[in-house]
Structure 1
Amino acid sequence: MDNKRLIEEIVLEVLNKISSSQELQSEKKPLRYVVRTCEKDDRALKEIEKHGSVRWIDVKEREYPENIDHVIFPSVNQDLLVKSALGITDTDESQLFSDLMRQGIRVHFILSKKDSWVLFAHEKNSPYAQMIESYVKQLHSFGVKLTQWEEYESDFSSSPYTFSGKLLTQKDVEDWGKPVIRVSSQTIITPLAKDAAREFNISIENKGS
């Protein structure tokens, strides 16, 4: 028995023991840090709370844990998007964004419905749209994730590409039969599973990223 297969079997046995003693199968909702702004979007906020435990960050106080690595800005408008790209910090929201960037904390902008057009600015042939597209590209270069609400919600919808187990093994990959496997951040991926994914040209994606 090669080392990789031995490791896979040991990990599986350990997980089974943990599962029986600590009820591992009961999923905990992920913790999400969300910026509380003046612009309220009840539907948006309810969607976040439905799929995760929320810790709010007040834009005026700008207090958050030191070990935080990901912050969500809901209902981002064009004003905040442009200021964030240019490094302008004349509002509480843009100042918070600047603080997070300087500390290397990942940011997810979920655009308001009326301003989600900026994600498709590259499809419009006008100097103004090209300027907006350059701001979007600048934010991407900072590592900022930009999505519409529809995309955010789809991250949690049931999908034939989603793997719900705690341990992704070689056999799981070989039997998958689809081009993508979406796993949670808590899923353990064995070395043999990664080898099999490369062999079968299957992409393993983290649905929490």
Structure 2
Amino acid sequence: MKNKIEAIVREVVLNYFKEKNGQHKKLLILLNYETPNQNEVWDLVGTLSKTYDVTLCVSEKWTTVPNTINVAEVIAIDGLTDQTMTEMASNVDALFLPTISYGFLAKLAMTIDDEKALALCIHFQLVGKKLIVAKDAIARKGEQKLLMPHSIQERISTYISQLVKDGVSVLKMKEVEKWLQQNVDAIQVKKPVLLAKHIVEIAEEGDNELQLSKNTVISPLGKDMARELGISLKMKE
């Protein structure tokens, strides 16, 4: 009986979000690292694919997608180019990483893009899109946590704190679905804001023209500074 009630409540909530948003949010899920909990990951992906338009970006370890999961597209990480990363970052609302390694965590916190999966994440950050990271793979419990040197725990906490400061949501995997339900309205495209200080920086770099997207907000002082410094502002078609 309890399970039936939970299923009904979930259906009502999902229908509410569909009606309120007019369309499904687009979610990119990056599956890069192996995990002993692969079935748990696929279960979550399947659940999310019922609510969101899900695209998978996968390594060779994740190419076999269960038939029960309905996704819009499956893209190989190795086939990513700068252009495809830019397009994905422009067209998708959020990027979710169900699995992560300590090395990936550290590099992402330090904005190091020396592999395609990291470059994809940083592309999303640079255009103000939402990143969600599941910390299950790097969390230690019980005796394992007690045996880990304090300096290592501190370092990992520092990396996580930096990601949170950068706007990344670092959650347990079981918390992700609920977090998305509660924050789905906040996941939206941010409008670029052009300020006077940006115009000064462009002038200092020796440029005299700036291409802007149509949804860019230009501050009055930004316009005045561009006029004063001779910087041409052009909207992309």
TM-score, L = length of structure 2? 0.46
Higher helix share: 2
Counterpart of 2:97 (choices 47, 69, 73) is: 73
- Determine if contact 2:89/2:129 at 8 Å carries over to the other structure: no
Paired AA for residue 106 in structure 2: V
The residue number in structure 1 matching 2:130 is 106
* Number of aligned positions between the proteins: 135
Deviation at 1:91, TM superposition (A): 2.1
Kindly indicate whether the alpha-carbon contact (under 8 Å) linking 2:31 and 2:99 is maintained by their aligned counterparts in 1: no
Could you tell me whether the CA contact under 8 Å between 1:116 and 1:148 is conserved in 2? no
> Equivalents in 2 of 1:183, 1:102: separation in Å?
21
1:4-19 equivalent positions in 2, closer than 5 A: none
For residues 127 and 19 of structure 2, the distance between their equivalents in structure 1, rounded to whole angstroms, comes to 33
Give the alignment partner of residue 50 of structure 1, picking from 34, 47, 50: 47
**Shift of the alpha carbon at 1:34?**
1.0
Normalised by the length of structure 1, the TM-score is 0.51
Q: Provide the secondary structure at the position in 2 that maps to 1:46.
A: helix
SS state of the match for residue 99, structure 2?
A: strand
Aligned AA (1:56): L
1:2-151 correspondence to structure 2 within 5 Å? 30-37=25-32, 39=34, 41-51=38-48, 52=51, 53-57=53-57, 58=75, 59-60=77-78, 61=80, 63=84, 64=88, 66-111=90-135, 113-117=136-140, 126-151=150-175
1:34 and 1:126, CA in 2 relative to 1: closer, same or farther beyond 3 A?
A: same
1:185 matched to 2:208: no
- For residue 44 of structure 1, report the CA deviation from its aligned partner: 1.0
Percentage of matched positions with identical amino acids = 15
Please state how far the C-alpha of 1:103 moved relative to its aligned partner.
Answer: 1.9
Query: Which structure 1 segments of 5+ residues have no match?
Result: 1-18, 157-161, 163-181, 187-209
What SS class does the counterpart of residue 33 from structure 1 fall into? Answer: strand
- Cα drift, residue 30 of structure 1: 5.0
Distance 1:65 1:132 in 2: 27
What is the Cα-based RMSD across aligned positions, in Å?
A: 3.6
